[in-house]
Chain A
Amino acid sequence: MRLTHLSLGSSLVLVLGLSASAFAADAIDTKRLHPKSGEFEFEGPFGTYDRGALQRGYQVYKEVCAACHAVNHLSFHNLDEPGGPEFSEAQAKALAAAAKIPAEPNDKGETTDDKGQPLMRSATLADHLPMPFPNENAARANNGNNLPPDLSMIVKAREGGADYVYSILTGFHEKAPAGFKVTEGKYFNPYFEGWNIGMPPPLNANSVTYSDGTKATIEQEAKDVTTFLAWASEPKMEERKRIGFGVMIFLIALAGILFAAYRKVWKDAH
Chain B
Amino acid sequence: MAATISDAGTRRDFLYVASGAVGAVGVATAAWPFIDQMNPTTAALALASTEVDLSTVQPGQQVIVKWRGHPLFVRRRTPAEIEAAKAVDVNSLPDPLAFNHNLAGGEDSGPATDANRATKPEWLILIGVCTHLGCTPTVSTPQIPEGDYGGWLCHCHGSMYDTAGRIRKGPAPRNLEVPPYTFLSDTRIKVG
Please tell me whether chains A and B touch each other in their complex, using a CB distance cut-off of 8 A.
yes
Indicate if the CB atoms of B23 and A264 lie closer than 8 Å.
no
Q: How far is the CB of A119 from chain B (nearest CB, A)?
A: 16
CA distance A73 to B18 in the complex (A): 45
Q: Which residues of chain B from 1 to 42 have a CB within 8 Å of any chain A CB?
A: 4, 8, 11-12, 15-16, 18-19, 22-23, 25-26, 29, 42
Indicate if the CB atoms of B46 and A254 lie closer than 8 Å.
no
| Residues of B within 8 A of A (CB-CB), count | 18
Q: Which residues of chain B from 93 to 117 have a CB within 8 Å of any chain A CB?
A: none
Looking at A29-37, A47-55, A132-140, A255-263, the stretch in contact with chain B turns out to be A255-263
Indicate if the CB atoms of A253 and B46 lie closer than 8 Å.
no
Nearest B residue to A263 via CB reads: B15
Cβ of B8: which chain A residues have Cβ within 8 Å of it? 264, 267-268
Indicate if the CB atoms of A257 and B46 lie closer than 8 Å.
no
Nearest B residue to A243 via CB reads: B33
A75 within 8 A of partner (CB): yes
Cβ of A81: which chain B residues have Cβ within 8 Å of it? 42
Nearest B residue to A264 via CB reads: B12
B133 within 8 A of partner (CB): no
CA distance A265 to B15 in the complex (A): 10
Q: Which residues of chain A from 59 to 103 have a CB within 8 Å of any chain B CB?
A: 75, 77, 81
A218 within 8 A of partner (CB): no
Cβ of B22: which chain A residues have Cβ within 8 Å of it? 250, 253-254, 257
Q: How far is the CB of A35 from chain B (nearest CB, A)?
A: 32
Which of A125, A250, A265 interacts with B12 by CB under 8 Å? A265
Indicate if the CB atoms of A261 and B42 lie closer than 8 Å.
no
Q: How far is the CB of A202 from chain B (nearest CB, A)?
A: 30
A25 within 8 A of partner (CB): no
Which of B16, B19, B47 interacts with A126 by CB under 8 Å? B47
Q: How far is the CB of A250 from chain B (nearest CB, A)?
A: 6
B43 within 8 A of partner (CB): yes
Indicate if the CB atoms of B42 and A77 lie closer than 8 Å.
yes
Q: How many contacts A-B (CB < 8 Å)? A: 41
Nearest B residue to A258 via CB reads: B19
Cβ of A250: which chain B residues have Cβ within 8 Å of it? 22, 25-26, 29
* Interface size range of chain A in the complex: 10 to 19
Which of A125, A251, A261 interacts with B16 by CB under 8 Å? A261
Q: How far is the CB of B26 from chain A (nearest CB, A)?
A: 6
Per-position 1/0 for A126-152, Cβ under 8 A of B: 100000000000000000000000000
Indicate if the CB atoms of B18 and A257 lie closer than 8 Å.
yes
Cβ of B51: which chain A residues have Cβ within 8 Å of it? 124
Known contacts being A250-B26, A254-B22, is A261 close to B46, with CB within 8 Å?
A: no
CA distance A118 to B23 in the complex (A): 58
Cβ of A251: which chain B residues have Cβ within 8 Å of it? 26
Indicate if the CB atoms of B42 and A268 lie closer than 8 Å.
no
Q: How far is the CB of A72 from chain B (nearest CB, A)?
A: 13
Cβ of A258: which chain B residues have Cβ within 8 Å of it? 19
Indicate if the CB atoms of B11 and A264 lie closer than 8 Å.
yes
Cβ of B47: which chain A residues have Cβ within 8 Å of it? 126
Nearest A residue to B2 via CB reads: A268
A residues contacting B by CB (< 8 A) are: 75, 77, 81, 124-126, 250-251, 253-254, 257-258, 260-261, 264-265, 267-268
Given contacts A250-B26, A253-B22, A254-B19, 17 further A-B contacts (CB under 8 A): A75-B42, A75-B43, A77-B46, A126-B43, A126-B47, A250-B22, A250-B25, A254-B23, A260-B15, A261-B12, A261-B16, A261-B19, A264-B8, A264-B12, A264-B15, A268-B4, A268-B12
Q: List 7 A-B contacts (CB under 8 A).
A: A75-B42, A77-B42, A125-B46, A126-B43, A251-B26, A258-B19, A268-B4
